[in-house]
Amino acid sequence: MFYGVDLTSRLMLGTAQYPSPQVLLEAIEASGAEVITVSLRREGAAGGAFRDLLAKSRCRLLPNTAGCHTFREAVTTARMAREVFGTSWIKLEVIGHADTLQPDPFALVEAARVLCAEGFDVFPYTTEDLIVGEKLLEAGCKVLMPWGAPIGSGQGLRNLQGLRTMRAHFPDVPLVVDAGIGAPSQAAQAMELGFDAVLLNTAVAKAVNPVGMARAFGRAIQAGREGHQAGLMLERDMASASTPVFGLAELA
């Protein structure tokens, strides 16, 4: 549940870089996603036609502040997005490093505090840093979106232990792995760790077959979630035979 909204699908899908509008719609449908992200900057470039296109998907929109590098940019973009898309949901991005697209934690917390006070439902794109997570929750956020790896890199869960620790530290907070997921197996791994959802874009949009890849991600996320709920076996340092020795024939 995110800000009081129950969702069936645990996959959130981005809407950029697809080869055509029709492929985008088919990929959304194949994925089973119920939440799609959209950039205000793309809406401004394409006009109302892009908004009309997304309406056909019947998904909930999660506008983002992609491309913002300062507190002021992010807050202003969020306010504009609320007016354009008619939703209080906002994926808050404040980029602090041009090469890695790592979020600026100081500007991020500052912007989250202002937007939460203004009634926004903020989904902050952050790192797996526990202190930053605490500050975002104190600012009013009820969801955290740690990155798996740099945006568009496809590296998967680069800091596996850090993400596992974050999940344990915030057991009752909805956590969404956002960015860096490049393969269905990586999305399944995030779900196996106990994360509540995965948000991705490039791995589907730039695939040879985006519709097929979207379907694969939807199934992988479901499998990972079911694996987590069923209870994964613990890793062992040594082998452990699955067949008992008792009852085997003894050869003299």
Helix intervals (H) in 120-159: 130-139
CB of 10 closer than 8 Å to CB of 228: no
CB of 149 closer than 8 Å to CB of 155: yes
- Check residue 57 and report its DSSP letter: T
CB atoms within 10 A of CB 130: 15
**What is the per-residue DSSP string for 151-209?**
TT-----S-HHHHHHHHHHSTTS-BEEES---SHHHHHHHHHTT-SEEEE-HHHHTSSS
142 strand-pairing partners: none
If you search the block for the tokens 């399944």, which residue do you land on?
Answer: 188
91 strand-pairing partners: 64, 123
The helix/strand/coil state of 122 is: strand
- Check residue 16 and report its DSSP letter: S
User: Active-site residue 91, yes or no?
Assistant: yes
Known binding residues for 1-deoxy-D-xylulose 5-phosphate are: 152, 179-180, 201-202
Which candidate in 91, 135, 142, 206 is catalytic? 91
If you search the block for the tokens 């990972």, which residue do you land on?
Answer: 224
Known binding residues are: 152, 179-180, 201-202
- Which residue numbers are catalytic? 91
